[in-house]
């Protein structure tokens, strides 16, 4: 179970690191090399994004990666094959991140079943609020997959508690409003937000949106359990290739 794995890791480390890749960006072989490098550099969990043509919650860096991956002709089947390969190769939890239409078109039940067969642990679907998620929740629960839900900075505590009833594994907390990959102010107000998050759920907390260096990760220690690095890793890959990714991940703690 994802939550147990996270708690066991937290017994040994004061903060876990979760990274994000877009499968097939810039190509499948490089994606695999990035995963290998990140795992060897000490990443604890990974989000594997299945590219979607309309990624409405993603910022410019991940948006471009989605479009470039799709331009290579990557399919959902190839994303499953990729996920199966990395899950077999590396002993950390892997999650899918994608938009709901990908699951809906595949068939939500079949999607969750194949996730389980591929050795994945759960999924983050940012355009699927709990209100619309009955089929998804039933399928994910049936196949032992963790549905990861999101707390936004303006989510009320009452709603946080309702969301937490549906979530498993951990809760993904947004550090600020907006899309992924832009500047975040890691300061007092964010600490207050995380206190509200902590009070609303027993699940571990991940914090993402704008985490880009060791100082940000240090800020998160003690306030959340997992620091999520997304766009910055893609920027580093774009600028310095796979070796730069390894140095970047090692620099985070």
Catalytic residue ranges? 47, 58
**H-run or E-run covering 173:** strand 171-174
Cβ 35 to another protein, closest distance in Å?
22
Task: Give least dist CB 161 to another protein, A.
Answer: 12
Contact residues for another protein, defined by CB under 8 A: 52-57, 59, 63-64, 67, 70, 75-76, 99-102, 104-106, 126-132, 149-156, 159, 162-163, 174, 177-179, 182
- In the complex with another protein, the residue whose CB is nearer, 25 or 248, is 25
Of 2 and 65, the one with the shorter C-beta distance to another protein is: 65
Backbone angles phi, psi at 195, to 5 degrees: -60, -45
Helix (H), strand (E) at residue 97: strand 94-97
Enumerate residues 6+ apart whose C-beta is below 8 A from 175. Answer: 153, 184, 186, 190, 193, 207, 208, 209, 210, 211
Residue 92 CB, nearest approach to another protein (Å): 26
Q: What tokens does 26 get?
A: 């810039």
As measured in angstroms, the least distance from the Cβ of 51 to another protein is 8
Residue 156: burial class (beta carbons within 10 Å; 0-12, 13-18, 19+)? exposed
CB 122 within 8 A of CB 71: no
In DSSP terms, 140 is beta-bridged to: none
Query: Of 120 and 124, which CB lies nearer to another protein in the complex structure?
Result: 124
Rounded to 5 degrees, what angle do the CA atoms 21, 26, 31 make?
45
Q: What number of other Cβ atoms are within 10 A of residue 182's Cβ?
A: 14
Closer by beta carbon to another protein, 35 or else 173 = 173
């Amino acid at each position: 179970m994802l939550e147990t794995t996270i708690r066991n890791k937290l017994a040994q480390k004061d903060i876990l690191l979760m990274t994000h890749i877009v499968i097939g960006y810039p190509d499948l072989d490089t994606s695999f090399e990035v995963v290998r490098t990140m795992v060897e550099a000490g990443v604890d969990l990974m989000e594997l994004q299945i590219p979607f043509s309309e990624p409405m919650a993603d910022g410019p860096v991940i948006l471009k990666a989605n479009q470039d991956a799709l331009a290579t002709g990557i399919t959902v089947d190839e994303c499953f094959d990729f996920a199966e390969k990395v899950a077999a190769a590396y002993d950390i939890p892997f999650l899918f991140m994608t938009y709901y239409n990908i699951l809906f078109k595949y068939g939500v039940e079949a999607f969750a079943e194949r996730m389980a067969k591929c050795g994945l642990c759960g999924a983050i679907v940012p355009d699927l609020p709990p209100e619309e998620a009955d089929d998804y929740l039933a399928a994910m629960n049936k196949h032992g997959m963790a549905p990861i839900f999101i707390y936004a900075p303006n989510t009320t505590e009452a709603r946080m508690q309702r969301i937490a009833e549906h979530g498993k594994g951990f809760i993904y907390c947004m550090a600020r409003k907006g899309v992924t990959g832009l500047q975040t102010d890691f300061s007092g107000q964010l600490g207050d937000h995380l206190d509200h998050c902590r009070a609303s759920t027993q699940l571990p907390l991940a914090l993402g949106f704008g985490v880009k260096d060791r100082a940000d990760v240090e800020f998160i220690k003690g306030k959340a359990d997992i620091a999520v690095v997304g766009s910055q890793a893609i920027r580093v890959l774009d600028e310095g290739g796979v070796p730069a990714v390894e140095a970047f991940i090692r620099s985070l703690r």
